[in-house]
Amino acid sequence: MYEKKTLSLLVTMCLVLALLVPNGVSALSPSSAQALSYVKIEGGLYYTVALRNDGTVWQWGRNLLGELGVNEKIRYRRTEAPIRAFGLSEMTDISVAEERYAGHNLAVKADGTVWQWGSAQSSDDYKTHSMRPRQIEGMSDAVAVSAGAYFGIAIRKDGTVWSWERYVNSQQQAIPRKPVAVQGLNDVVQISAGGGDGRAYAVKQDGSVWTWTEHSISTYVKVTEQTVPVKLKGLSNIRSVSVSGGSLLALDRQGKVWTVDEKGKVAAVHPELKIKEVRGHIGAILLLTTAGDVYGYGHTVNGKQGKVNGLPKIVAIGAGTYHNLAISTDGKAWGWGGDKYMELGAPATSYGNMVYRPIQANDEVDVMLNGESLPMSYTAILSTHTVQVPMKELVNAIGAKLQVGKDETGAPLYKISYEGYQVSFQLGQNKAWVGTKAIELADQVEFHSGAITVPHTLMTSLGFTANWDPLTRTVSLSKQSEQL
């Protein structure tokens, strides 16, 4: 009797789930849906990099100098939605250089390798080049990284710290100095590359803080050799450090923050607060309390002091040059401050490209082609009625032919030919032509972030299935014959 009731209950639950899940969307377990959460967020000059806990890396903001490393030859003013970092998966840590104009990004993979991407000045033609993610040769067993303006450092599993220079040549080839161990450092649990002065910091298991200077190719810093680390006085029982302009911020294991100025003077920072995380950036201090509230002091990005209002409960924070970032308990990205290039992930809300009350970043969209993630140089964007995907990215990925002509009025007319299919459409129109037959589109053809985008369902007119899953925020494109 009990088994019959249990079976009846299971059948009823399945029917309810079937009614709740829309057509074309697969049901996911709660754990699967929760897996799509940001776990770390970092800011640079006008852009943001975030690590999702499925090991993928997402970026948004400016790409005029190739900061996002989406393509060596493709740059554009800004993204309008997050874009997935090319070739990065199973990542466990990220870091963005805090120094202005650096555009230097690092990530650690689960296998202990370290990857670098972004913009950099060439050592031979002195021009700025953009690099897609590439591995730092000679670096292994890494568990954490920190990006400086002109160098990178990493902690290895054995607690040692390794460093290397960072620059490229005019062929966009990364040619860093081979990573070497920093002398005298072991049992290290946290690192910070500091600002553009070549200074770096390390926290040991015993709570002591050590500092040294890395060799730098900066014309403003005359350092020829790496210095030997020295222990900072007045700090003990420390668990992490961050840099704010010329000052060091240290968080101890009791949740208290201490500042060390350029003369070595140690002072408490808002001891009335119990802090979980501290971040510094160009004279400002960002504090995350154990209760999930965020406070900002000093030269804050919006000029306000004290508690940041308008945020949900927060689990992690980040700081860019002119913008602040946070991750809420549901894994969403939030931001406030400067938003000139949509580095907050959504349009500015106030005059002067400013956001005074925190806003939530637009959702990221992953595009899968025949079961594999499709690397793209432009963003896919979730709109009201559909998902907009970059047209040329799809054409190149499936090996189709694109022709650009003109209609009778002289307006551009785009035609895609693929394996006997022909689809034509125009910018700003919500209809297309399959051969000579007109069809309605779920949304109009648009222009986003430097690329013409089309509704993802347009791919069905080229012999593909095109499904959108809002739980995983994934567009899945597959040739129909491969589904049979």
Question: Looking at residues 414-435, what average pLDDT do you find?
Answer: 95
pLDDT score of 449 more than 60: yes
- Does the pLDDT at position 219 exceed 60? no
Task: Domain 37-360: give its CATH code.
Answer: 2.130.10.30
Q: How many CB atoms lie within 10 A of CB 183?
A: 11
pTM of the full structure = 0.88
pLDDT > 70 fraction of the chain, expressed in percent and rounded:
85
Question: What's the pLDDT band for 431 if we cut at 50, 70, 90?
Answer: very high
Q: Is the confidence at residue 426, as pLDDT, over 60?
A: yes
Q: Identify the H or E element spanning 454.
A: strand 451-455
- Contact present, 26 and 40 (Cβ < 8 Å): no
Answer with the residue of higher pLDDT: 9 or 193: 193
| pLDDT at res. 4 | 43
Residue with tokens 């101890």: 252
**6 has pLDDT over 50:** no
Q: What is the dihedral of CA 48, 50, 56, 61, to 10 degrees?
A: -20
On average, the pLDDT of the chain sits at: 86
Segment 341-369 mean pLDDT:
96
- State the pLDDT confidence band at 416, using cuts at 50, 70 and 90: very high
For the segment 185-191, the average pLDDT, to the nearest whole number, is 97
Q: What is the pLDDT of residue 100?
A: 67
The Cα 22–Cα 110 span in angstroms is 35
Radius of gyration from C-alpha coordinates of the chain: 25
Question: Does position 220 have pLDDT exceeding 50, yes or no?
Answer: no
| Spatial CB neighbours of 444, under 8 Å, sequence gap ≥ 6 | 428, 429, 430
The pLDDT value recorded for residue 160 is 98
- pLDDT above 90 as % of the chain: 68
Whole-number pLDDT of residue 481: 65
Contact of 392 with 385, CB cutoff 8 Å:
no
Which H or E element spans position 13?
helix 2-20
- Mean pLDDT on 1-5: 42
What is the reported pLDDT for 35?
67
Q: Residue length, the chain? A: 484
* Cβ-proximal residues to 76 (8 Å cutoff; 6+ apart), any chain: 63, 64, 378, 449, 450, 451
For the stretch 319-343, pLDDT in tens is 999 999 999 999 999 999 999 999 9
| Cα gap 315→220, rounded to integer Å | 37
Structure confidence at residue 77 (pLDDT): 87
- In terms of pLDDT, which residue wins out, 4 or 39? 39
Which of helix, strand or coil describes residue 267?
A: strand
Pick 290 or 264 by higher pLDDT: 290
Distance CA 128, CA 182 (A): 29
Mean pLDDT check: name the lowest of 69-73, 141-145, 357-361: 69-73
- Per-residue pLDDT reduced to its tens digit, 84-121: 999 999 999 999 997 766 789 999 999 999 999 998 76
Query: Per-domain residue ranges for the chain?
Result: 37-360, 366-483
The one-letter amino acid at 297: Y
Of the candidates 447, 423, 448, 449, the residue with the CA atom closest to the CA atom of residue 437: 423
Residues contacting residue 57 through CB under 8 Å, at least 6 positions apart: 49, 50, 51, 84, 85, 88, 91, 94, 107
State the sign of the Cα–Cα–Cα–Cα dihedral 60, 142, 131, 100. Answer: positive
Does position 425 have pLDDT exceeding 60, yes or no? Answer: yes
Burial class of residue 202 (count of CB atoms within 10 Å of its CB; 0-12, 13-18, 19+): buried
Is-contact 273 265, C-beta < 8 A? no
- Is the pLDDT confidence value at 7 over 50? no
Query: Worst-scoring range by mean pLDDT, 194-203, 236-245, 273-282?
Result: 194-203
Nearest to 246 by CA among 301, 199, 191: 199
DSSP string computed for 129-194: EEEEEEE-TT--SEEEEEE-SSEEEEEETTS-EEEEE--B-TT--B-PPPPEEPTT--SEEEEE--
pLDDT confidence of 171, banded at 50, 70, 90? low
- Is the pLDDT assigned to residue 28 strictly greater than 50? no
pLDDT score of 404: 95
Phi and psi (nearest 5°) for 9?
-65, -40
* Confidence label for 173 from pLDDT (cuts 50, 70 and 90): low
Q: What is the structure's pLDDT at 53? A: 92
366-483 belongs to which homologous superfamily? Copper amine oxidase-like, N-terminal domain (3.30.457.10)
CB–CB of 414/406 below 8 Å?
A: no
Distance CA 192, CA 147 (A): 8
pLDDT score recorded for residue 23: 32
